[in-house]
Amino acid sequence: MNSPLVDTHVHVWDPRLMRYPWLDRVPTLDRTVLPGSIDRDAAATAMIFVQAGCRPEQAVTEVRWVAGLDWPELSGIVADVRLDAADLHERVDELVPEPLVVGVRHTFQELPPNAFTTTAHSAGLNVVAAHGLVFDATVRADQLAELATLHASAPSAVLVVDHLGNPPVHAGWQSADADAWRSGMRAVAHEPNAYVKVSGVSYSEKARPFIHEALDAFGFSRAMLGSDFPVTVTGERRWEQVADTFSPTAECVEALRWRTANTVYGVQPRPGRNPE
């Protein structure tokens, strides 16, 4: 398809310049990843960088480094912010003037149960919303109910669930884990300001019912695509093919490929590539 395509979830990093503790556990990814190495077979017309797990005190450094890279498709940056940080106001105030910053992310998936339904996290989410920033949330499947509770405490926040809420594809569609994931996704989708990224899964037949369920829960107008480059191995079909595979109408294809991303992140159309 030759219509515009926004890749809403791309990572780059350079361990020579910043510290990424998680790379110590993933030696296959412990290397420099720059825009020149991004898989461009999808022909994405715009890309959104999502913070790559550097140390929290390096968040602004990461934003400025990414903004200065030779990256023609770069259209937005989702920066690293801890919602419960004591200096949250100062951190957000540093990020807001950066012209490419469209949102922030707090990675919850390594936290224990019931760790982020706190007053501090709720207050932090309201601060993010007040500054007009989108909040990306990366959670485990068993944390989705908590995420719904957090969002209900700050319903004006625009929240994006990364990677389909990490569905338990390995456990199978009929598993108890899948039941819990379905319930959690429906709870998150209940808030009209909640969106979902179809990203971060290997696009196999086992993943198909989970993708269908997420799209049914949120609707195509609240769903978007992301490659999760270079972390996710795409599987039996490429990430950008999800739009054609799962969409019943041309309007749904457009929503997944670029319209939702434009709505959520304010990604600006590029002359000659995106429609007016």
pLDDT for res 87: 94
d(CA 237, CA 58): 35
Outline where DSSP puts E strands in the chain. 6-10, 46-50, 74-80, 101-107, 134-138, 159-161, 194-198, 223-225
How far is CA 48 from its chain centroid?
9
pLDDT at 2: 63
DSSP-derived secondary structure letter, 31: S
CB 8 within 8 A of CB 262: no
Tell me which DSSP letter residue 49 carries: E
pLDDT at 41: 92
Digitized pLDDT (tens) for each residue of the chain, 276 residues in all = 568 999 999 999 999 999 999 999 999 999 999 999 999 999 999 999 999 999 999 999 999 999 999 999 999 999 999 999 999 999 999 999 999 999 999 999 999 999 999 999 999 999 999 999 999 999 999 999 999 999 999 999 999 999 999 999 999 999 999 999 999 999 999 999 999 999 999 888 999 999 999 999 999 999 999 999 999 977 778 999 999 999 999 999 999 999 999 999 998 644 433 333
Reading phi first (left if > 0) and then psi (alpha if -120 to 50, else beta), residue 164 is in left
Q: Which residues contact 222 (CB under 8 A, 6 or more apart)?
A: 189, 194, 195, 196, 260
Q: Which two tokens stand for residue 238?
A: 């490429």
Report pTM.
0.94
Q: Give the strand order in the sheet containing 6-10.
A: 6-10, 46-50, 74-80, 101-107, 134-138, 159-161, 194-198, 223-225
Which residues touch 215 (CB under 8 Å, ≥6 apart)?
A: 198, 223, 246
Do residues 39 and 47 make contact, with C-beta atoms less than 8 angstroms apart? no
Residue 276: predicted pLDDT: 32
